[in-house]
A and B are shown apart, each in its own frame.
Chain A
Amino acid sequence: MSTMNTVGRPTAPNAVDHDYKHPTLTGGRGLLQDELLIFESDGWGKTGVDLPDPKGAASDLGDLVRKDPIGLPGLSEPEAMRHYVRLSQKNHAIDLALYPLGSCTMKHNPRLNEKMARLPGFSDIHPLQPISTVQGALELMDQLSHWLKTLTGMPAVALSPKAGAHGELCGLMAIRAAHEASGQHEQRRKVLVPTSAHGTNPATAAFVGYTVVEVAQTGDGRVDVADLASKLGPDVAAIMVTNPNTCGLFERDILEISRLTHEAGAYFYCDGANFNAIVGRVRPGDLGVDAMHINLHKTFSTPHGGGGPGAGPVVLSAALAPFAPAPWVVHGSDGYELIEREEGDAAQAFGRLCAFQGQMGMYVRALSYMMSHGADGLRQVAEDAVLNANYIKARLSDVMSAAFPDGPCMHEALFDDEWLKGTDITTLDFAKAMIDEGFHPMTMYFPLVVHGAMLIEPTETESKAELDRFINALRLLAEAAKAGEVERFKGAPFHAPLRRLDETRAARTPVLRWTAPEGTNIAAE
């Protein structure tokens, strides 16, 4: 492996010289360093932590002791810093530039939230410490619950779901428990889900054992109420509707949808992924929602961290509140208490979703964000998110084709690929070319109901100047596409650490871990 190290590029068997950049001797590109895997370093036997020497072997454990090498290289502290800093430089991030992923809500992550979450009184407390020693943590959970209930106009909240999809699971399990309690579970086996829903919606319904029935969409991007009504009946447990929906539109008929649903004896699950578009202006409780998860990372800015952790508290209507899972906080005679099991007042709780209290670290960040904005600031959040999206839609509609040109959008602007017809350039090509202009691509090919969809969500933390910069880049790209500059798109990205990755190869012959080349000795010294 040391030979690999001196070569610089460990596994580039098919590497070819490319004429778009000047080849270097080492493979480095200016400040952008190639970086080996830690397993290709010379770190077998090395460690970057100083620990006192143990006194002896674990003789009392006998043959339970692990003998063979594990295969874990070590790095000294400076090597570790460099390794991960070099890797970091190959990532796009919201702190670098606008990150217009629709339906993902990439907004500024205030560092105050991070500072608060790291206070030892929050980060260094154990989930099973005596309740008397975690009163402040329970107070924080109680406060967060109060904010969420007030903002949504809902009477109860289950904090423990660990992500949005986990929240969907929580909501559907509460619905299921309610039908079980009323003796209707056996007959109500269907969940209605619009075609435009996030993939997690049907996956969750199936995960809880329901049959998923799709509901059609109207030409103007909303739930087809007639189709919904025709499918509602005594065999339906719930509907799952995203509002604002994944086309970036408010469901105009939402009150009718909830009325019909309740008339049919079903519950209304709302996917709250897009709550940031209406927070402070519309309360889901006023729309007849029975359960809705709130992605704290989206609406309340806890960082996405390369894929998580998220947090997905679920607000519940009075009908579903008794079924909320343990644990939850109550006001006791002597401070806050934690209900940890299904008994007494909590006898109808549907169970438990995870080992402990949920994503406490995310609760701190979310409450910090909420308090920083306040009721007035959160309303401004929704207004600016919607204003920014409509501004993008208005400024790009003459060069790209808006999927739903009539009327305003909410927090995201949706385009289709109609305007690319005849250019030989696809949505994917266009998105990859955006990378060369310094932006992360928008969400592509979603929602599925729009051909070649491009879903752009700027969020409320973008300035007008940054929006104009983004709009200018897209306008120039659109003009280049129409002018026939196909190569600019087909080969893109040219200015990224890597060019188009072969995803088919990765799936066809999965290589999911590093393995030592034959004859390598990786034994720890």
Chain B
Amino acid sequence: MRYLPLTPDDRTAMLAAIGAKSIDDLFVDVPQAARRDGFVDLPHVMGELEVDRALSAMAGRNVAAGSRPFFCGAGAYKHHVPATVDHIIQRSEFLTSYTPYQPEIAQGTLQYLYEFQTQVANLTGMPVANASLYDGSTAMAEGVLMATRVTRRNKAVISGGVHPHYVRATETVVHAVGVETQALAAAVDAEAAVIDAIGPDTACVVVQTPNVFGTATDVTKIAEAAHAAGALLIVVVTEAVSMGLLKSPGEMGADIVAAEGQSIGNALNFGGPYVGLFAAREKLIRQMPGRLTGETVDADGERGFVLTLSTREQHIRRDKATSNICTNSGLCTLAFTIHMSLLGETGLRKLALLNHEKAVATRDALAAIPGVEILTPRFFNEFAVKLPKNAAEVVDQLAAHHVLAGVPYSRLAPEAGMDDVLLVAATETTLDPDIQILAKSLTKVLGA
């Protein structure tokens, strides 16, 4: 038991110091009926080598994205993360530190959170950002709840372009407190349709750009319509790199931005841990959920950073708190911040443009295949295609050909009746031969 430093002699000496005869004396408060004398029915202690082998065997039964042509997106994106990022986040002082409750000895964490907040605010084009939430989908749910608090209205209009899992995660939480949602029908170019759904009881309008079908939209007019009706506009972004190329949500009139930050600095990880970006207009800061880091001075007048505005939080306000969240994705924010610092504006713009170009090249290759119809009019690095066959079946067949061709839309929302729609994403990690292999394999599978 290599992680447990006490020796049998230590234990004997410590029990003596306590005045206990045996360890059982320390568990006297546990009712007799609930005490278990033996071991639970699980394997016993394993050495490092054994654990390594067992887990490596499991990992070996998965197909890693980097091992073959890979085109899956739909809210999680394969990007190259510089080696420096993972190296730095594994430093003990970051990896094994806790929430920065003692600011005098947590300035490392607090300063990078402040840098993160600034980067996210600038990237989203919003005045303020928090120190992260769990992921993009839970950030959207928090955004809707926040909008209902701010407007004192009870209904959220959700565009048919929003990721179906985000919609479901949001509905699950907000319905519990009686917030109504009106989720519009899925459509490739759905964003403009939401204007008609805005009414006097609308607390917020939720749109996504680029949306789940990849469609990039200028939502300025939706923002105007929402504001005219006294509602807030929440813009969801599932691909953070897109903001390096496209007009920012803030520029288009967003009041709240709920985004997924996985794309910058964080691996795919089969869906988590990810990092929720959350930004808003300045007047909303006291209604924002989650942690905030603020600038201040110490006893000598030197600049420093602290967690702040905690009177919104659960540990002070308990059942009156703006949210029950008591954590943030600290280490994932650090990965985001380091990667973003390495990219800088120059690198981010270049990366974003590369992503777009790879996707355009992929689209062009697929458009040339008979029977394939490109559905998405304007996109960043992901687009939808209509296939002459069931998309899920095609994806399975292509997987057998060692190509991971994308995400069938029916995997996200079978009820939408879009069984022939495939979502295809390309990033800077997509190489030209990958595109050729995809096109060739798809031609073969469709031609059969």
CB distance from A404 to the nearest CB of B (A): 11
Query: Would you call A359 and B272 a contact (CB within 8 A)?
Result: yes
Residues of B within 8 A of A66 (CB): 243-248, 251
Residues of A within 8 A of B294 (CB): 506-507, 510-512
Query: Which parts of A66-112 form the interface with B (CB within 8 Å)?
Result: 66, 68-75, 77, 80-81, 83-85, 87-96, 99, 101, 104, 106, 108-110, 112
Query: Which parts of B161-189 form the interface with A (CB within 8 Å)?
Result: 163, 165-166, 168-169, 171-173, 175-178
| Stretch of A224-232, A247-255, A260-268, A418-426 with 4 or more beta carbons under 8 angstroms from chain B | A247-255
CA distance A361 to B414 in the complex (A): 28
Query: Would you call B103 and A498 a contact (CB within 8 A)?
Result: yes
| Stretch of A314-322, A380-388, A480-488 with 4 or more beta carbons under 8 angstroms from chain B | A380-388
Closest to B346 in A: A47
Query: Which parts of A273-295 form the interface with B (CB within 8 Å)?
Result: 278, 280-283, 286-287
Determine whether A310 belongs to the interface, using a CB cutoff of 8 Å to chain B.
yes
Query: Would you call B344 and A355 a contact (CB within 8 A)?
Result: no
Query: Would you call A109 and B330 a contact (CB within 8 A)?
Result: no
Determine whether B95 belongs to the interface, using a CB cutoff of 8 Å to chain A.
yes
- A122-B59, A208-B176, A355-B136 known; A61+B245 contact, CB < 8 A: yes
CA distance A9 to B301 in the complex (A): 11
CA distance A389 to B244 in the complex (A): 51
Query: Would you call B316 and A356 a contact (CB within 8 A)?
Result: no
CA distance A110 to B1 in the complex (A): 12
Query: Would you call B95 and A305 a contact (CB within 8 A)?
Result: yes
Pick from B89, B117, B163, B395: contact of A355, CB under 8 Å: B163
CA distance A122 to B66 in the complex (A): 12
Query: Would you call A367 and B55 a contact (CB within 8 A)?
Result: yes
Query: Would you call A498 and B272 a contact (CB within 8 A)?
Result: no
Query: Would you call A101 and B98 a contact (CB within 8 A)?
Result: yes
Residues of A within 8 A of B299 (CB): 491, 499-500, 502
Residues of B within 8 A of A124 (CB): 64-67, 78, 267-268
Determine whether B196 belongs to the interface, using a CB cutoff of 8 Å to chain A.
no
Pick from B59, B114, B300, B346: contact of A525, CB under 8 Å: B346
Query: Would you call B104 and A134 a contact (CB within 8 A)?
Result: no
Residues of B within 8 A of A77 (CB): 82, 84, 342
CB distance from A400 to the nearest CB of B (A): 16
CB distance from B300 to the nearest CB of A (A): 6
Closest to A18 in B: B300
Pick from B42, B51, B310: contact of A368, CB under 8 Å: B51
CA distance A89 to B96 in the complex (A): 13
Determine whether B158 belongs to the interface, using a CB cutoff of 8 Å to chain A.
no
Query: Would you call A51 and B354 a contact (CB within 8 A)?
Result: yes
Query: Would you call A207 and B94 a contact (CB within 8 A)?
Result: no
Residues of B within 8 A of A377 (CB): 1, 3-4, 44-45
CB distance from A166 to the nearest CB of B (A): 7
Query: Would you call A14 and B244 a contact (CB within 8 A)?
Result: no
Determine whether A362 belongs to the interface, using a CB cutoff of 8 Å to chain B.
yes
Query: Would you call A70 and B122 a contact (CB within 8 A)?
Result: yes
Closest to B126 in A: A513
Closest to B44 in A: A374
Residues of A within 8 A of B15 (CB): 387
Determine whether A518 belongs to the interface, using a CB cutoff of 8 Å to chain B.
no
Query: Would you call A65 and B344 a contact (CB within 8 A)?
Result: no
Determine whether A450 belongs to the interface, using a CB cutoff of 8 Å to chain B.
no
Prevailing SS type, chain A contact patch: loop
CA distance A219 to B329 in the complex (A): 38
- A127-B268, A306-B334 known; A464+B6 contact, CB < 8 A: yes
CB distance from B435 to the nearest CB of A (A): 14
Query: Would you call B316 and A304 a contact (CB within 8 A)?
Result: no
CB distance from A225 to the nearest CB of B (A): 13
Determine whether B304 belongs to the interface, using a CB cutoff of 8 Å to chain A.
yes
Residues of A within 8 A of B407 (CB): 128
- A119-B55, A386-B27, A506-B308 known; A493+B104 contact, CB < 8 A: yes
Query: Would you call B176 and A74 a contact (CB within 8 A)?
Result: no
CB distance from B55 to the nearest CB of A (A): 5
CA distance A435 to B102 in the complex (A): 9
CB distance from B144 to the nearest CB of A (A): 13
Residues of B within 8 A of A441 (CB): 102
Q: Which of B42, B105, B175 has the most CB of A within 10 A?
A: B105
- B 305-338 binary contact with A (CB < 8 Å = 1; else 0): 1101111011111111101111111111010001
Pick from B3, B52, B62: contact of A115, CB under 8 Å: B52
Query: Which parts of B324-364 form the interface with A (CB within 8 Å)?
Result: 324-332, 334, 338, 340-351, 353-354, 356-357, 360
Determine whether B151 belongs to the interface, using a CB cutoff of 8 Å to chain A.
no
Query: Would you call B172 and A306 a contact (CB within 8 A)?
Result: no
- A80-B84, A307-B291, A513-B117 known; A387+B346 contact, CB < 8 A: no
Residues of A within 8 A of B447 (CB): none
Determine whether B445 belongs to the interface, using a CB cutoff of 8 Å to chain A.
no
Query: Which parts of B89-103 form the interface with A (CB within 8 Å)?
Result: 89-103
- B 387-424 binary contact with A (CB < 8 Å = 1; else 0): 00000000110010000100100011010000000000
Query: Would you call B296 and A308 a contact (CB within 8 A)?
Result: no
Query: Would you call B345 and A209 a contact (CB within 8 A)?
Result: no
Determine whether A360 belongs to the interface, using a CB cutoff of 8 Å to chain B.
yes
Residues of B within 8 A of A134 (CB): 62-63, 270
CA distance A336 to B100 in the complex (A): 40
CB distance from A351 to the nearest CB of B (A): 3
Closest to A444 in B: B101
Query: Which parts of A11-51 form the interface with B (CB within 8 Å)?
Result: 11-16, 18, 35, 37-39, 43-49, 51
Query: Would you call A372 and B3 a contact (CB within 8 A)?
Result: yes
Query: Would you call B356 and A61 a contact (CB within 8 A)?
Result: yes
Determine whether A121 belongs to the interface, using a CB cutoff of 8 Å to chain B.
yes
Query: Would you call B319 and A205 a contact (CB within 8 A)?
Result: yes
Pick from A45, A116, A122: contact of B270, CB under 8 Å: A122
Query: Would you call A51 and B350 a contact (CB within 8 A)?
Result: yes
CA distance A325 to B176 in the complex (A): 14
CB distance from B15 to the nearest CB of A (A): 7
Query: Would you call A90 and B105 a contact (CB within 8 A)?
Result: yes
Determine whether B137 belongs to the interface, using a CB cutoff of 8 Å to chain A.
yes
- A74-B342, A116-B51, A354-B134 known; A502+B296 contact, CB < 8 A: yes
Pick from A212, A278, A383: contact of B30, CB under 8 Å: A278
Query: Would you call B115 and A129 a contact (CB within 8 A)?
Result: no
- B 252-271 binary contact with A (CB < 8 Å = 1; else 0): 00000000100000011111
- A356-B271, A387-B14, A506-B306 known; A306+B99 contact, CB < 8 A: yes
Query: Would you call A84 and B88 a contact (CB within 8 A)?
Result: yes
Residues of B within 8 A of A199 (CB): 313-318, 321, 326
Query: Which parts of B1-39 form the interface with A (CB within 8 Å)?
Result: 1-7, 10-11, 13-15, 17-20, 23, 25-31, 33-36, 39
- 8 residue pairs of the A-B complex, CB under 8 angstroms, read A73-B341, A88-B93, A93-B94, A124-B268, A162-B134, A169-B173, A355-B169, A367-B55
The 3 closest A-B pairs by CB, nearest first: A74-B344, A356-B271, A121-B59
